[in-house]
A and B are shown apart, each in its own frame.
Chain A
Amino acid sequence: MKADNLELPTEIMELQMGPSHPATHGTIKFNLKLEGEKVRECDVEVGFLHRGFDKSCEQATWTQVIPYTDRLNYASSLINNVGYALAVEKLIGAETPPRCQYIRVIISELARLFDHLTCCGMAASELGAITVGFYMIEARELITRIIENLTGARLTVTYVRIGGVKHDLPHDFAAQVSSAFTTIRKLLDDCERMLSRNRIFLDRMSNIGVISAETALNYSLTGPILRASGVDYDVRKAFPYLVYDKMDFEVPVGSRGDNYDRFLCRMREIEQSMKIVDQALQQLPVGPVWIDDPRIVLPEKEKVYGSIEGLMHHFKIIMEGILVPAGETYFAVEGGNGELGFYIVSDGGGKPYRLRVRPPCFIAMGAFAEMITGYMVADIIPTFGMINMIGGECDR
């Protein structure tokens, strides 16, 4: 609710919220100017988690960058892996086999589920609906187990490689996914029942942090935040990559551009993601998961240990890195929070000359002041929660 008619005379108070505020899950600081409880001005200070991602990538080989990309948006590290690998493959001009593409779609959607469940669950629990928070974390845990079974790690997965994925899906993958999805659908139904007519939740979410379609576009917003404002821009539909054009799914679009619409968009996207995973698992073709190109792919271990050519081949790729032809390219995938783009420049060597990530939540934080000005201090929490800022990606 906008606090327009304040009657008591007040003076402007400056308040610094953060950097480690218990209700903002992320290290970020808001320098607020308050009039009573109303936010007059908000200056967002980011960068507390800056660790020089770009500069570190310039020191590493193309393959060594993959673990760094895990640590960008650690709630959807698989999407970061996929986006980076696709960008490098675009510059090389390589196309992965169909099975690999399907696997990449499946893992991207699993990561999106993970990301949205984290965001929605945390946002609900910050508004007091802690049961919903735990239910969604339970649902997320099921996804985490699938990811752990597939990659061996829960968050920092490093599963995708340039030219393929680390290994094929485990034999019981489809069964695991279907049993997990049954439980997740049930849990989400429960969450929906707990929230959709919950007075506290609705009052604190609807008509808060409203941003119109034009303003959202003007602020370069993407992902669920832009779609909640009524703009149907989704990279998976606008610039289809991998096998998304063969999938039947909808892009949920909101109308009011408030926090509740952002929440609903994410909840609907969870359903769509599960639909995509089901379809992809049904259509999954048999075949190799690696591209057939010895310049990119490491040789089999038998060859490495059994022949001098194999050993040298292995050594060259590990020590020099994959040689990516000189040039520059940009490739964007739909990340959990919006368009996740990789702009890479190569000078023909084994290391990136320049690697830039377009971080969706950094750009969303640029619009935060616009979203929150005129609302109450307490509205910062749900609005910030719905941006789903992940420090690793925002600050790099």
Chain B
Amino acid sequence: MPETSSQLTHIQEKLGASVIASIQAQGDDVVVLERKELRESFRRLKDELGFDLLSDITAVDYWQKKEPRFEVVYQIVCRAKRSRLRLRVPVPEDDPTVDSLTPLWRGANFLEREVWDLYGIRFTDHPDLRRILLYDEFQGHPLRKDYPVNLCQPRVPERHVDGTFVDERSHNKLLRLQKSLGAKR
């Protein structure tokens, strides 16, 4: 095991029991964190250790490779010390939920919505957890490794929006389309 940097030792002291492991690889500091009380850990990192910029949130699916199956990956930056830190949070398949960081960093909003959209990992206390890159009717989460790459999704009828101006001709076309698709609305 490579020697840990002073930053990692410091973080390990601060976060205590929630650190599963701390690794240094290719010059990056990586901390594997417990998902229990995740927001509290991040609050400490932000307020007490000076990591003020949340750079990125993403996830990795280690399907049939690793247990627990998912890992949510956070990249944070401490501008004052010019250091980066990567945090990996293992998430099991049967309960894919983690704490949302949106109360700490509002920038986490879009990033977490993307992880939910593409991986199906839920973020508790997220204010508005909707799909973001895909449409609401999409079935499944395409970046999971068990989602086939060439799977076709069914066509969905045009969504009805209340209170909008409706052009008769295009509306009739929409009705025909709905009929042909056998939609039940």
Residues in chain A within 8 A of chain B (CB atoms)? 14, 16, 46-47, 50, 52, 54-55, 58-59, 90-91, 93, 217-222, 231, 233, 238-239, 327-330, 332, 339, 341, 343, 345, 347, 353-354, 356, 358, 362-363, 365-367, 370, 395-396
Contacts and interface: CB of A to CB of B under 8 A. Distances in A.
A238 B82 contact: yes
A226 to B, nearest CB: 9
Contacts of A345: 60
B89 to A, nearest CB: 14
Interface string B49-68: 00011111010110001000
A356 B56 contact: yes
A395 B56 contact: no
A47 B55 contact: no
A47 B132 contact: yes
A366 B110 contact: yes
5 contacts: A217-B53, A238-B82, A329-B28, A345-B60, A396-B133
Given A219-B106, A363-B110, A395-B133, 17 more contacts: A14-B163, A46-B132, A47-B134, A50-B133, A50-B134, A52-B142, A91-B26, A220-B107, A231-B79, A238-B79, A330-B56, A343-B73, A343-B75, A354-B60, A356-B56, A358-B75, A370-B106
Contact of A356 (B53, B58, B106, B164): B58
B143 A330 contact: no
Given A54-B143, A219-B106, A366-B109, A339 B133 contact: no
Contacts of A395: 133
B160 to A, nearest CB: 13
A47 B138 CA distance: 13
Given A14-B163, A220-B55, A55 B149 contact: yes
Interface residues of B, number: 41
A221 B107 contact: yes
Interface in B136-172: 142-143, 149, 161, 163-164
Interface of B: 25-28, 30, 52-56, 58, 60-61, 65, 73, 75, 77, 79, 82, 84, 86, 105-111, 114, 118, 131-135, 142-143, 149, 161, 163-164
A329 B25 contact: yes
B132 A233 contact: no
Nearest to A52: B142
Contacts, number: 101
Nearest to A220: B107
**Nearest 10 interchain pairs by C-beta:** A220-B107, A366-B110, A47-B133, A219-B107, A358-B56, A50-B133, A356-B58, A354-B60, A329-B26, A220-B54
Nearest to A56: B149
A55 B142 contact: yes
A55 B144 CA distance: 9
A58 B148 CA distance: 12
A46 B28 CA distance: 32
Contacts of B58: 343, 356
Contacts of A347: 65
A367 B107 contact: yes
Contacts of B84: 239, 330
Given A91-B26, A366-B109, A233 B118 contact: no
A46 B25 contact: no
Given A47-B132, A239-B82, A218 B60 contact: no
Contact of B111 (A52, A58, A238, A363): A363
Contacts of A327: 25-26
A220 B82 contact: no
A369 B65 CA distance: 40
B56 A341 contact: yes
Contacts of A46: 132-133
A196 B133 CA distance: 38
Contact of B107 (A47, A328, A353, A366): A366
